[in-house]
Amino acid sequence: MMLLRNNIRYFIPKLVQHWIYKRAETCAQEVVPNLKVWSRNSFKLGSFVFAVSDLDLTVYGKKVSGIDWFKSIQKIKMFYKFIGEINLYDEDHLSLVIPRMNKYELKRDPVLASVVEKGIIVDYNDEIEKIVFLLRLLHSDKRLELEPKLRLRKWQEHWLSLGFGEINSFSRKGLLNKIKELLRGDEFLTQGLLSWDKVHAEQIDIYHYNFLPGFSILFPHFHSWFEDEHEIESIQKWSLFQHQILKRQIDWEFWGIYTQRFYLPQEIYENHLERLLKVYRIIANDREYEQAVAVFALIKIYNN
């Protein structure tokens, strides 16, 4: 099945490949006429690989509630099985949600970027944004190690967007080396990164592994916060650079769960976000913390 999926694109002309994906996007728009729907990521940016890349969609509206619209898109997904992740935004929430979003992730949704008022976008430290973006991709791109050639076009697009120049080949090892380079030789963080990679390589249960120091900063969404009674003191002692990475990773988590709030049960995310808010209170300023609390409220009040 994998061999067929990988080779089918060679027998279908490029124009037909693009038409099939575009037709799926159009169908999604037609089944929810009261909302705006558009594609993002690899298809929108032209780096998609037919029969390999998902068609990720953004749904946008005002005072959106319920999941009927989602069920409608799920029905066409039975035919267009490559429809992938669906993100939901409410027009009235953008001023709170977009500042939580990573700038390079926003670039991957150019239509959303075009409707966002410039004053909403916060000019965060570019180096921190790159680190956080790459850390998230390190976890999410499951195919990179198994099918590096099929992922090359996507990573070429990432590398150019990040300002790293052109690449002719890519691998998981290359990604790890770039992240280590961006970590400024911080041994604490580097050990955390290597700890994560060991778990990936050996397929260890992430929730039952004693990670090396620095892991909780790089991957706070996988760390069990405050099981150690001295953890607050530890957080306070971390450097500004470490705090900045941690804060933007937590921002990503709030943004990501907000976009998926239409189907995530409250018991899945509530305790998780409450713990992250407690961390955020230590490392963020008052305004940032208040905004994070407001986004948490938006997540909880969504009416399914």
Cβ 83 vs Cβ 255: under 8 Å: no
* In the predicted structure, residue 210 carries a pLDDT above the cut 70: no
The model carries a pTM of 0.92
Q: Which long-range contacts (CB under 8 A, 24 or more apart) does 234-240 make?
A: 235/279, 235/282, 235/283, 236/282, 239/186
Cβ 172 vs Cβ 144: under 8 Å: yes
List the one residue out of 274, 13, 12, 251 whose CA is nearest residue 132.
Answer: 251
Model confidence band, residue 147 (pLDDT cutoffs 50, 70, 90): confident
Please name the residue that has the structure tokens 């409410």. 90
For residue 37, give the 3-state DSSP assignment.
Answer: strand
**Cβ neighbourhood burial of 301 (10 Å; 0-12, 13-18, 19+):** exposed
For residue 146, give the 3-state DSSP assignment.
Answer: helix
Could you report the per-residue pLDDT of 51-110, keeping only the tens digit for each?
778 999 999 999 998 999 999 999 999 999 999 999 999 999 999 999 999 999 999 999
Per-residue model confidence (pLDDT) at position 3: 45
Could you report the per-residue pLDDT of 42-60, keeping only the tens digit for each?
999 988 887 778 999 999 9
> The domain 2-120: what is its CATH number?
3.30.460
Q: Where are the domains of the chain?
A: 2-120
For residue 1, give the 3-state DSSP assignment.
Answer: coil
Give the whole-angstrom CA distance, residue 16 versus residue 18.
5
